[in-house]
Structure 1
Amino acid sequence: MTSSTTVRLPWIDNLRTLLIVLVVNLHVCVTYSHVGDWYFMSAQEPTLAEKVPFIIWQAHLQSFFMGLLFFISAYFAYSSIARHGVRAFVRERLLRLGLPALLYMLLIHPFILLGLNPWDFNFGPPVEFYVNYLRTGKFIGSTGPLWFAVALLLFSLAFAAWRLARPRSNDLQPVTVPTGTFILLFSLALGLGSFTMRIVQPIGTSVLNMQLCFFVQYIAFFLAGLCTARNGWLLPMASSSYARIGGKLALFCGPPLLLTIIIIGAKTAAPEAFFGGWHWQSFCYAVWEQLVGVGLSLGLLMFFSRKCNAENKKLRWLSDRSFGVYVLHAPVIIALAMLFRTFPLNIYAHVTLLTLTGLVASYAVTDIGRRLPGLRNIL
């Protein structure tokens, strides 16, 4: 185990905070753009011209932010299991990931349905509905954003099982830092794998609330995080020339390239052709997504390691509560969206307002929750 896995890295905490902020923003965008799926959508669907900026923005977010969260989680999982052992690691993962998922499935999701109920749907008597919700097992697939915690728990348990089967794997000689050519081939392989997965699991489909169309990247990024921790690659990769070049290319070339693919592809096929199946539109989108996703991930690692390595009380406060915001933000932004739905604002003003107030309120609710007995350890 390298020293890089045992030292607290403020820039990683700050990066993780940013990723949670982007998660909240994405769900706000879906609320008003109708691009994607979310609990509550605005009553009026925007025009195609209004949707295009959201399509570009949301596609770029989806290309990297959840994969990067899996990468960071795996990076620290490696050092955690090395320090504390497999059993302690599994107990900690069950507590930190399993309990928040159960909290969401058993309390938060039913509260959104029955308490907020933005659709004014008649669910019947609440007690009868809740009993049926549990009895039929519907709660299992009602993880909302906490699908991430469930998936990460499964990945972590698989890693723990591997360490039990291969206890001496940590004694292997470190591998040299990946080259730019390897990263490019890795990205192309992810694109091909995503395209293949989407033949049977197109974008928009899910299994127990997990969109398997994105899981090729999630699994690969998790494994990359483990390899990065074992071999001490994090800082060398973050300071590499390909991280700087890849980040800039993804940032400046990603949007016009995606727009070009959309314009050309839309002339010969329906929008569904981009989501999956044997379509060149799906292939090009999958390859674009992974090239841009890897590039943006590396660029953010480079930028935060150089420019955002500060630590103070305010940043630490935000970082300590970022996962709680992830757990609790859904009912917060739904309630606020219901409150704001009569405001005479344009779509972009609505997104700005809901993002800012949703973040402030989510952090406030998380801070209150962390003061309650039993919640501090899972928020």
Structure 2
Amino acid sequence: MLTSGVVELLAAFGLAPLFLVAGLLAAGSLGRRGPGRYAAARLLRLGLPAVFYVLLVDPMLRWWVASGQGDDRPLLAWLTDWTGGRGLGPMWFVVALLGFSLIYAGWRRLRPVGPSRPSELSMSRLLTLAAGIAALDLLTWPRVPDTVARYWDFEWPHWQAAAGVFVLGVLAGERRWFRAPSRLLLRVCGCLSLVALTGLAGLPALSVQPGNTEIPPGSWQVVIMAGLDGLTVVLAMVWLVDRLQRHQVGRSPLLAVGARSSYGAYLVHPVVLVGLSLALRSATWAPEAKLVVVVAIGVPVSFLIGGLGNRLAATVRAGSGTHRPRAGRRPASTGGRGHALLPGDGPGAGAALGSGSSKSSPKKWLSGRSGPNALWLAGCDGQDSTMTTYPIVVRESAPHYAATRTATLAVTELPGWLGQTYRQVAMSLGTHRQYPADGPFARYHRLPDGRFQVTAGFPVAERPVGDGDVIAEWVPGSRVAVLQYAGDYGSMEPAYRALSEWLSTHDAVAVGDPYEVYRSDPQSDPNPATRRTDIVQPFVPAASSAADRN
């Protein structure tokens, strides 16, 4: 009886961490894109796979399994059967996440998030959220008949906890609850979640009628179960996030690749696992042995397919010229807490390292980081300057903080200084459990003596603490023109000319120096010719500039 209870708990809470992570990411994604673009992206990324699964994949899987059991109905009959011959299966998670995301986007359209309001994570907030989940459980469980709860495998009984964890992730992302939570609070969360989990596993044994593990509606066990459900899912998730942060799970390159492939793996794993199960159907092994083989082969294959899908999508975007890097993605760690693995080598990095190889370690690469536009700034481009058409978009850049270092340098000093700067700023942020909100940037201002005043660092969501010469810089909001450049850092002069001509033809006046945001990762994009950089120029309309002068 206890074993069956544990199995039920795994089924109920196994996806809770995914909803939590989705909520954490949703807060940043919506903040960067705005509610409309965020909702459209969710419909594309979540809605299309769910529809494809329901219309095609699920009936094909059912036909595949049934045909092996002697059912001679043709595939067309399964594809056109809408009376119960199909279901969402694992896609219930995707559909639930889509619903939560659209509700969140609608809420933020009606109630835009205000200025950054970091707050401390407290037990009262967690208990309030747990009570909300319990209340939803009590309101919905008695009103969802089993036939409705299981219709199309929507898994309605699990949506309350999933919604609560998603809300927890959103609030934590918007208010930085997981920035530096109290050690005592985390220990209490771990202990209480263990007690609640044990209670949930053994609660069926306390049923009213001996030998019956079904908890009758309206009984006191239902109230206890709802309360334990809320406590378990909220407190356990907080404890889990802290464990992952403290052990720096994201440091492993293998785990980083797996994380990027996880969504694709989740989408394809039903087909892979069912296919392997059918392939082993004639084997005379014990069912447990078949299960081990299916999992041992199917899980890595699913992640491999997910990774290949990511590469294919990136190739298609790059080939079509429509790729827009995902702002705000936290790169992989270089080894210290909060260190970021920054985008690829700039020109001169190979010389600084004593080798032109792109396979150098992150630490060596960081120490050899070159100024991406250092060569053309010095007039040493040496490339064909024929004008090329570059994609340029206009955006509203929200006011934000940045953690930066500034120095006045000769061109030859740029490579070493930039590498040291990105490493030092990343270490400073990591020490205070702060993280970059976007990719690394550098801003160059040429001085009359030929040297450059260079400011480099990372944008952050809240005011950075700073250490030594790492300071907090306030970047005011402005309208910006963003040129999306792909290619060698030493060949950027035509791109800057194109941006200057765009300003002239659009009656715009540059405000301050342009800056570069580096979007590529040397591990995923080792070819310098395909690395991507956003060249960003703040500007105002010419009429506004003239009015200001008057």
Using the size of structure 1 for normalisation, the TM-score is: 0.71
Aligned mates of 1:108, 1:80 — CA distance in 2: 29
Find the structure with the greater CA-based Rg: 2
- The answer to whether the 8 Å contact 1:97/1:149 transfers is yes
Give, in whole Å, the separation in 1 of the partners of 2:232 and 2:151: 26
User: What residue number does 2:31 align with?
Assistant: 82
* CA positional deviation for 1:352: 3.8
Structure-to-structure mapping, 1:310-325, within 5 angstroms: 310-325=250-265
CA separation of 1:245/1:353 partners in 2, compared to 1, >3 Å: closer, same or farther?
Answer: farther
Partners of 2:12 and 2:78 in 1: how far apart?
A: 37
Cα displacement (A) at 1:242: 2.2
Q: Distance in 1 between matches of 2:255 and 2:114?
A: 36
Structure 2 vs 1, CA of residues 234 and 331 (structure 1 numbering), >3 Å: closer, same or farther? same
Contact kept? 1:333, 1:358, Cα under 8 Å: yes
Change (3 A) 1:368 1:121: farther
- Determine the C-alpha separation between the residues in 1 that align with 2:226 and 2:197: 14
Contact kept in structure 1, 2:137 and 2:160, CA below 8 Å: yes
Ranked by relative contact order (alpha carbons within 8 Å, sequence separation 6 or more), the top structure is 1
Cα distance in structure 2, aligned partners of 1:264 and 1:90: 44
Name the structure 2 match of 1:147. Answer: 92
**Could you tell me how far 1:137 is from its partner in structure 2?**
8.3
* 1:114 aligned onto 2:63: yes
Q: Which residue of structure 2 lines up, in the alignment, with residue 262 of structure 1?
A: 204
State the aligned residue count.
Answer: 315
How far apart are residue 305 of structure 1 and its match?
Answer: 0.6
Cα gap change, 1:96 to 1:212, in 2 (>3 Å): same
Residue 57 (structure 1) shift: 4.2
- Contact 1:101–1:150 (CA<8 Å) still a contact in 2? yes
User: What value does the CA root-mean-square deviation take over the aligned residues?
Assistant: 3.2
* Residue equivalent to 2:415: none
Please give the secondary structure, in 2, of the residue aligned with 1:292. helix
Q: Distance in 2 between matches of 1:143 and 1:374?
A: 28
Structure 2 matches for 1:48-63, cutoff 5 A? 52-59=2-9, 61-63=10-12
1:301 Cα offset (Å): 0.7
Task: From the superposition, tell whether residues 137 and 82 of structure 1 become closer, same or farther in structure 2 (CA, over 3 Å).
Answer: farther
Determine the C-alpha separation between the residues in 2 that align with 1:116 and 1:160: 39
| TM-score, normalised relative to structure 2 | 0.51
Identity %: 22
Question: Are 2:168 and 1:227 equivalent residues in the alignment?
Answer: no
Amino acid at match of 1:53: T
| Equivalent residue runs for 1:152-301 within 5 Å | 152-166=97-111, 169-171=112-114, 174=117, 176-201=119-144, 205-237=149-181, 240-251=183-194, 253-254=195-196, 256-265=198-207, 267-268=209-210, 270-273=212-215, 277-301=217-241
Deviation at 1:203, TM superposition (A): 6.7
- Contact kept in structure 1, 2:161 and 2:229, CA below 8 Å: no
Structure 2 CA distance, aligned partners of 1:231 and 1:78? 9
Q: Summarize the Cα distance change of 1:310–1:371 in structure 2 as closer, same or farther, 3 Å threshold.
A: closer
Give CA deviations for 1:165-200 in whole Å, capped at 9, x if unaligned: 23xx32257263242233234324423431332112
**Which residues in structure 2 correspond to 1:18-29 (within 5 Å)?**
none
**Residues 1:235 and 1:64: Cα distance change in structure 2 (over 3 Å):** farther
The Cα shift of 1:207 comes to 4.8
Distance 1:96 1:364 in 2: 19
Question: Structure 2 vs 1, CA of residues 305 and 370 (structure 1 numbering), >3 Å: closer, same or farther?
Answer: closer
Find the aligned partners of 1:255 and 1:232 in 2 and give their Cα distance: 27
Show CA shifts across 1:191-231 (max 9, x none): 34313321122678235432222222222222222222221
Residue 240 (structure 1) shift: 4.2
What is the distance in 1 between the residues matched to 2:310 and 2:106? 31
Greater strand share, structure number: 2
Q: 1:171 to 1:85 in 2, by over 3 A?
A: same
Unmatched 5+ stretches in structure 1: 1-47
Q: Is the 8 A contact 1:77 1:226 kept in 2?
A: yes
Q: Are residues 260 and 149 of structure 1, via their aligned partners in 2, closer, same or farther at CA, if it must alter by over 3 Å?
A: closer
1:163 positional shift: 2.4
Return the offset for 1:278.
1.2
Question: Greater share of helix residues, 1 or 2?
Answer: 1
CA distance in 1, matches of 2:246, 2:299: 26
Q: Which amino acid aligns with 2:212?
A: A
CA distance in 1, matches of 2:190, 2:67: 40
Q: SS at 1:236's partner residue? A: coil
Residue aligned with 2:286, SS: coil
